[in-house]
Amino acid sequence: MDRRTAVEDASPLAELWTAAPAPAPKPHYHGHRERLRERALAGGLAALPDYEVLELFLFRSIPKRDVKPLAKQLLARFGSLAAVLGATAEELKTVKGVGDGVALDLKLLHEAALRAGRDQIGRRPVISSWSALLAYVKTALAHETREQFRVLFLDKKNQLIADEVMNRGTVDHAPVYPREVVRRALELSASALILVHNHPSGDPTPSSADVDMTRQVIDAARPLRVSVHDHLVVGRHGVASFRALGLM
């Protein structure tokens, strides 16, 4: 037999004996989503740390990628879960991996939390649901990067008629026009007001300008028999009440 022919004839058989390539190694996060979901179902969401709660939410925004690093980056960038949700869409997108879709989903979660809080204070007199009110204003304002002045308009039973942003300002000032506040109260047939604004610095201690502005609103509202129940100053470190501090 020709030696060359024998070698050529054997070559297809040699291919059969060649070992199959090893399967690609599974990514380190393989099965992580399922395990995290199982833990959440078994122990309850309240038992999970913030980064895992954020992870679970991001599963829906980013279906085919390990999102644990992104969850941790968001918390590192903003400091807390509440601050992540309170950040603007543009601020969120400064974190690598956050696009328009993820930013919108996170803002949607924040809006849902706000509406749930507003529902809690809208069902009964605000004065009797003070803890719910404080939780609501903290969710709304504690992590705002610019000062915002809001007014809660109440009816004769101290139930919420409306929560309106009257003005937005800079990092340390939001202009307030007492006559505009009172005019809006009359339009809504409100009997009482709770003034609310935030200090982006994080310190809720009222300033002398805050005290002066509050007195101006009280003076403008008094002749029209509209009461100002309180002025709340919201910061990352808490909420200051003018009434509790004896400032009104």
- 6 pLDDT band (50/70/90 cuts)? very low
Question: pLDDT of 16-63, one tens digit each?
Answer: 445 556 565 555 555 777 888 888 888 788 888 999 999 999 998 998
CB contact burial 68-106 (16+ within 10 A = b; e otherwise)? bebbeebbebbeebbbbbbbeeebbeebeebeeebbebb
**Range with top average pLDDT, 55-64, 66-75, 117-126:** 66-75
Average pLDDT estimate for 207-234: 95
One-letter amino acid for residue 229 of the chain: H
- 173 pLDDT band (50/70/90 cuts)? low
Q: Six-digit token pair at 238?
A: 């808490």
Q: Which residue has the tokens 């009434």?
A: 243
- Sheet hosting strand 192-198, strand order edge to edge: 160-168, 148-154, 192-198, 227-235, 238-241
One-letter amino acid for residue 124 of the chain: R
Range of lowest pLDDT (7-16, 23-32, 118-127): 7-16
Output the average pLDDT for the chain: 85
Counting residues of the chain whose pLDDT is more than 90, the rounded percentage is 56
- 7 pLDDT band (50/70/90 cuts)? very low
pLDDT of residue 171: 56
- In terms of Cα–Cα distance, which of 107, 65, 66 is closest to 89? 107
DSSP β-bridge partners for residue 164: 151
